[in-house]
Structure 1
């Protein structure tokens, strides 16, 4: 007897084992992993800001020049920017239904990279004594 099981997947996608978007699971896990990573990194960032509060300009620079602090700041910047890009991409894909969707996803990526690059540049400039 022939199988009466109906599916919406194409034969090629069944062979490849991929979903319709080909990256949904990967996107989901990247978003969750960056969210988990952001918890301790955000706490470290808050602790750094609290330590810098009330200190003078030179003391704040000395704090950021510390290798451990600089590494924590850089990890937070990169993880938060990537998480931000992933989250906004989901929102754009869910709620933008016009031809502007592709442009919005591209603009979102450029914005996240621009924000991350500017923040990384600032931390590196302070860390290596450019200020």
Structure 2
């Protein structure tokens, strides 16, 4: 039997002091992704079956390039935030949790950067 109260056990553990920001960013990216996803889906659907030259002409517009880059950035950032919550909630081994978090963040960052680079390369040429 321990004389330490539950409050004493909890004190000192503290919080990451990042929960509110994380929650807000997840909501902001979700709200931003709603119109961006609709726009991207209609844009891609309208180019279905078109030639490469038509796609290049489409990406010649700075508005279209900026919108696709915003869509990709918001999507990958939102995915990163969501996966972080799932990993933190369901992986209990601290070492494994850290490894999976680092691997996931790295993979999403690399894929996001490569995706945005592909859009920019298409827009500005090889």
TM over 0.5: yes
Task: Give distance in 2, aligned partners of 1:123 and 1:65.
Answer: 11
Task: Give 1:85 shift.
Answer: 0.4
2:117 to 112, 116, 121: 121
Task: Give distance in 2, aligned partners of 1:64 and 1:44.
Answer: 14
Task: Give distance in 2, aligned partners of 1:126 and 1:27.
Answer: 33
Q: After TM superposition, which residue ranges in structure 1, 4 or more long, deviate above 4 angstroms? A: 6-9
The 5 Å alignment of 1:51-62 reads 51-62=46-57
User: 3-state SS of the aligned residue for 1:97?
Assistant: coil
Task: Give distance in 1, aligned partners of 2:60 and 2:122.
Answer: 6
Task: Give distance in 1, aligned partners of 2:122 and 2:83.
Answer: 30
Task: Give distance in 1, aligned partners of 2:65 and 2:46.
Answer: 14
Unpaired runs of 5+ residues, structure 1, are 1-5, 14-18
- Residue 25 (1) aligns with residue 20 (2): yes
Unpaired runs of 5+ residues, structure 2, are 1-5
Higher relative contact order (CA 8 A, sep 6+): 2
Task: Give 1:112 shift.
Answer: 1.1
- Residue 106 (1) aligns with residue 102 (2): yes
Task: Give 1:7 shift.
Answer: 4.6
Superposed CA RMSD: 1.7
Count of aligned positions: 119
